[in-house]
Chains A and B, each alone.
Chain A
Amino acid sequence: MARELIRLADVSKNYRKGRELVRVLDGISLAIEEGDFVGLMGPSGSGKTTLLNLLGGLDKPTKGDVEVDGRNISRLSTGALAKWRASNIGFIFQFYNLLPVLTAARNVGLPLLLTSLSASQRRKHVNTALQLVGLADRAKHYPRELSGGQEQRVAIARAIVSDPPILLCDEPTGDLDRATADEIMSLLQRLNRDYGKTIVMVTHDPRAASFAHRVLHLDKGELGAAPEEIH
Chain B
Amino acid sequence: MFGWLTQTAALAALNLRSLPRRPGTAAVAMSGIAALTGVFAGVLSMASGFEKTMEGTGREDVAMVLRSGSTAELNSSFNGEQADVIRYAPGIARDAEGEPEVSAELFWIVNAVGKSSGTEANVALRGIQPTGYSLRKDYRLAEGREFTPGRFELIAGRGARNQFVGLEPGQTIRFGKTEWLVTGTFETGGSVFESELWCDVNVLQSAYQLGNGFQVVRARVEDADGRLQLEEALGDDQRLSVDVWSEKQFYSDQAEDTAALITNIGLPVSVLMGIGAVFAALNAMYASIAARARELATLRAVGFGSFPTALATLLESVVLAFLGGVLGCAIAWFALNGFQASTLAASFSQVVFNFAVTPDLLGRGIVAALIVGLVGGIFPAVRAATAQVTSALREL
Contact = CB atoms under 8 A, between A and B. Distances in A.
Contacts of A59: 390
A113 B390 contact: no
B295 A86 contact: no
Contacts of B298: 91, 93, 97, 99
Contacts of B393: 58, 93, 97, 170
A58 B295 CA distance: 15
B261 interface: no
Contact of A111 (B14, B294, B303): B303
B68 interface: no
Interface stretch (A27-35, A77-85, A189-197, A202-210): A77-85
Majority SS of interface residues in chain B?
helix
B316 to A, nearest CB: 13
Interface string B237-248: 000000000000
B367 interface: no
B390 A86 contact: no
Contact of B303 (A49, A50, A83): A83
> Size range of the interface on A?
20 to 34
B339 interface: no
Interface in B310-344: none
Which of A83, A91, A101 neighbours the largest number of chain B CB atoms within 10 Å of its CB? A101
A82 B390 contact: no
Contacts of A128: none
A50 B391 CA distance: 10
A132 interface: no
A56 B298 CA distance: 13
B210 interface: no
A76 interface: no
Contact of B302 (A53, A100, A111, A116): A111
Contacts of B394: 49
Interface string B269-290: 0000000000000000000000
A33 B305 CA distance: 29
A170 B389 CA distance: 14
A28 to B, nearest CB: 17
Nearest to A91: B301
Interface residues of B, number: 26
A114 interface: yes
A147 B299 CA distance: 22
Which of A56, A82, A113 neighbours the largest number of chain B CB atoms within 10 Å of its CB? A82
Contact of A58 (B21, B390, B396): B390
Which of A87, A99, A111 neighbours the largest number of chain B CB atoms within 10 Å of its CB? A99
A111 B14 CA distance: 14
A110 interface: yes
Contacts of A95: 294, 396
Interface string A152-194: 0000001000000000001000000000000000000000000
A110 B306 contact: no
A91 B302 contact: yes
B304 interface: yes
Interface of A: 49-50, 53, 56, 58-59, 78-79, 82-83, 85-87, 91, 93, 95, 97, 99-102, 110-111, 113-114, 116, 158, 170
List 8 tightest A-B contacts by C-beta distance, closest first.
Answer: A86-B303, A97-B298, A101-B17, A113-B10, A85-B303, A82-B305, A53-B390, A114-B303
28 contacts: A49-B390, A58-B301, A58-B390, A59-B390, A78-B306, A79-B305, A79-B306, A79-B307, A82-B300, A82-B303, A83-B303, A85-B301, A85-B302, A86-B303, A87-B303, A95-B294, A95-B396, A99-B14, A99-B295, A100-B21, A101-B17, A101-B21, A110-B10, A110-B302, A114-B3, A114-B7, A114-B302, A170-B393
Interface of B: 2-3, 6-7, 10, 14, 17-18, 21, 294-295, 298-307, 389-390, 393-394, 396
